[in-house]
């Protein structure tokens, strides 16, 4: 399987960011790690191996990105207003740096797919729902999509627009049409311990 390690100094985040790239053809995807996970997690957990036939067959190409969860939602030593601002920077890093890089590497201007499990599912869904201009498919496994519990009671407009359980129900017809054009799979088991955070 074709595999590349890639890193650059992100001007948006002000630090070095790393990712792994798999494949040489097919629909480009961005895969997120679980809570505070790293870019190599999906490979280490065997998830890349599980779709090796799709990668080798040219059906998909995958960018496994790093997270900044330890600097945002999981940074309990920082004020919640700082946490959400850091997460918003991460969103801009993905949109302004990762998406153009993936499109260039995949040699396409097509929209991308996002995928994640656990808190990675939140990232996959939130990024996809916020940016349907660059995302056409979202897959979230066992995710929690409400961020209130990470903010210690703090709430502002930025929090609202990064909380899918808040902004999606209030979308106007134009945004509903955009999301309706996407393939969205939100998968949660009926006994999942995060079930209450998915609606």
| Residue 84 confidence (pLDDT) above 50 | yes
| Residue 151 confidence (pLDDT) above 80 | yes
Residues 6+ apart with CB under 8 A from 107: none
CA torsion through residues 109, 145, 47, 32, sign: positive
Q: With contact defined as beta carbons under 8 Å apart, do 24 and 61 qualify?
A: yes
CA torsion through residues 47, 142, 33, 63, sign: positive
Classify residue 58 by its DSSP letter. T
Give the pLDDT score at 192.
Answer: 63
Give the pLDDT score at 189.
Answer: 78
Q: What is the pLDDT of residues 160-191, one digit of tens each?
A: 999 999 999 999 999 999 999 999 999 987 76
Give the pLDDT score at 28.
Answer: 98
């Amino acid at each position: 399987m074709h595999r590349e390690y890639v890193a650059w100094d992100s001007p948006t985040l002000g630090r070095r960011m790393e990712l792994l790239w798999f494949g040489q053809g097919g629909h480009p995807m961005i895969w997120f790690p679980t809570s505070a996970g790293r870019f190599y997690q999906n490979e280490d957990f065997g998830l890349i191996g599980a779709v090796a036939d799709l990668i080798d067959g040219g059906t998909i190409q995958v960018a496994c990105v790093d997270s900044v969860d330890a600097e945002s939602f999981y940074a309990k030593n920082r004020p919640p207003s700082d946490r959400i601002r850091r997460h918003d920077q991460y969103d801009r890093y993905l949109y302004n740096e990762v998406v153009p890089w993936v499109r260039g590497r995949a040699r396409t201007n097509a929209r991308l797919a996002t995928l994640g499990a656990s808190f990675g599912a939140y990232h996959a869904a939130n990024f996809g729902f916020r940016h349907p201009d660059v995302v056409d498919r979202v897959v979230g496994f066992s995710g929690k999509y409400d961020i209130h519990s990470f903010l210690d009671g703090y709430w502002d407009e930025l929090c609202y627009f990064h909380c899918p359980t808040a902004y999606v129900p209030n979308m106007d017809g134009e945004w509903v049409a955009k999301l309706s054009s996407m393939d969205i799979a939100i998968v949660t088991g009926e006994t999942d311990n995060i079930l209450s955070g998915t609606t």
